[in-house]
Structure 1
Amino acid sequence: MIGRILADFRILPYNVSLLSRLRIGKVAFEETPARIEPCLLDETGPEIVDLIAALSASSSALGIRLHARSAANLADAVRIMNCYYSNLIEGHNTTPREIERALADQLDPTEERRNLQVEARAHIRVQRDIDRRFAEAALPEPASAEFIRDVHRAFYVDAPEAMLIVRGTGRALRMVPGEFRSTAEHEVMVGRHWPPAGERVAAFMQHFEKRYRFEPLRMGSRILAMAAAHHRLNYIHPFLDGNGRVSRLMSHAMALHAGIGAHGLWSVSRGLARGLESRGEYKRMMDHADSLRQGDLDGRGNLSLRALAEFTTWFLQVCLDQVTCMSGLFALDTLIERLKFYVEQRGLKPEAFALLEQVLQRGELPRGEAARVTGLKERTARDLLSTLVAEGILGSDTPKGPVSLRFPLDAVEVLFPGLFPKA
């Protein structure tokens, strides 16, 4: 009788959360974290090995011709791109201009657009903090339950009350930022997938943290773990809402820890949103990786090892495609020519190019050197520098500090015209 019921649950679309509370006589079935196994690939074929090598090499080369300070400032523009595509995956079409205005606290008067701007601003704030902590060697294990809760909490810290209300199946629940699902009331269904029951999420996340800890792994294994962890976190669905955003931010942190972050100059969200051939690939591949084990030759876990390998291969192909794409879009070998074109298009003094060229090469320039670099008189050079700062193409951390290249959207559209969709 029990065997028959278990067999039935195996062939039905898996509703293991119901099985976790099923009782037959005195026998109770408890949903165990082994449900997400296999978590890692036991063996890697030549295709995945080649992908890891190519991704490592191409990410190391990305931005290598750019001064570290300029690369850090260009990463600000990439964060806007990352946010734009992450929102697009959620069905929230927030334009790059709206995101830029949100960062300047220029919020839309309509509630719907304003809430989208608040969401976008939060995403960029959290990613910027991740980048800062990594640069300071203070970024914790990206798969740790503590880090994942912190990311979720930080994302929703300034959220309006309406963003914290999760509605579905005729009910409304208030989500607490940073808290996992924890009760029977927190039952969810995502598409045709039933994530673990709320009461079991904490146990699943302990297992997740143990299986995806980076500390004992080498670089190649970390890259593999990044791909698998992205799916398995969404499979657990630890929060009532915001799981997709958190998983993409976790993947960004993992890429940094795995040595393929490339100064933040590429975005996993852009790749996931666009796919390799179509925009629907992400959801299809995530659904495919949910598949149960298909017979004795498909691993020894609950889920399909073959499907995990196929998802991992696809995920790494997406990452490599994005690193390659960004290298082409940035075209750093010819950036100096586009800076000259920017000066001409904006109707700036020709000497402005000399300033931008020097800043590009040196990373930053003391304000007092503007006259020497341009050959202009002191006051004229100072006025020209002020104009470039007002344009946003140059900026500094303090009013009198050295200036460095900045990349507002007006400049990005000229310097890197393919970074955002034309629309």
Structure 2
Amino acid sequence: MTTFLNDFGVVCALGNNKSEVKQALNHPEREYQSLDHELHLEGEPVYVGKVIGELPDMSAFPSYQQTRNNALALMAVQQLEPTLSPLLAKFDSQRIAVIIGTTTAGVRTAEEAVAHYMATDAFPAEYGHQCQELIAPAQFLAEYLGADGPTYTISTACSSSTKVIMTAHMLLDTDMADVVLCGGVDSLCQLTVNGFEALDSTSQSLCEPFSESRDGINLGEAAAFFVMSKQPGPVALLGVGETSDAYHISAPDPSGDGAIRAINIALEMANRTPEDVDYINLHGTGTIKNDEMESRAVYTLFSDKAPCSSTKRLTGHTLGAAGALELGLCWLHLTDVDTPMPPHKMTKPRDESLHPIKLVQSVTKQNSRICLSNSFAFGGNNISVLIGLADAAKIDMTSTC
């Protein structure tokens, strides 16, 4: 059965809605990340992809739901209401599912509560530990929409919201839901900023994926959500490939075998070949090992023919939201001829020791029909998703999971 990505809502460092994000993709010469002086435990400034602007008023919600994470999620989902409202009216609430990817939930709120406790020997009166549970954003959005179908969170580090896409398809394919709100949300917090620094994985400046001077990631925050259903829409889910190579707790398998198998599974499910792919959004973190592995994997399958890019210099690495965000950038490119292939911003020379994949380093517009998006997480948790314009779907995606 073919399932469709009917609409997309987004908020990230590039902008607070689809229109702003499209405009930003046309102006990659600008810097969209900024220096933060509060997240580092020792007060060191760090570059992050932070959402700028006024978030929705959360005062009408219970205090434990008034987190930045939920505000970001609400901001993205409100953009979907013209598409969601007719579907919510058409289908029983028990047929509406909410599946979310996250790694932080309301951890930043918990950090602030702990700081208050250390200063006063008491937690803030409004603090509720539920805010930091991984299920929190899924429950919040289900309650907001009045959705009573399957509701849960997937948390597999950087692949979280990409895995959500396949899960949403499975719910639709097995007739457990008629509509799924699916995607991811993560907000900046001290836990992730300092945790990745402890792993020696953060860049000392703005990240430079695939460059000779790359030294790590910049973290970011985002909310990115799709309305997914069996109702025909502009973009179809063509194929998904998932593998787990379990090579190392945090480092990828340098051979790229798990990544190659994930891409191949997605292509096979879609009955497509590498030559059919018009654009690839790379995981492209800017770490030494990820970029070595991914360039090897992509070159093995696509040589230097498929245009590709990493967008993490523009948005920061948004962790649990990254997969849905980057797939959403593909969705925007497919559905709007004025939205370019997401450009690969790299101000330093590329690393000539890496496999010579075809990086899109300028604003390039073309009528693409099929895009691939890669996500590679800790523990060798790999997933690749292939989407295309609705008339590009060749087969029904039956239960090939």
Which band: TM-score by shorter chain? under 0.3
Structure with a larger share of its residues in strand: 2
TM-score, with structure 2 as normaliser? 0.25
Structure with a larger share of its residues in helix: 1
Q: Which of the two has higher C-alpha Rg?
A: 1
RCO higher in 1 or 2 (8 Å CA, sep ≥ 6)?
A: 2
TM-score, with structure 1 as normaliser? 0.24
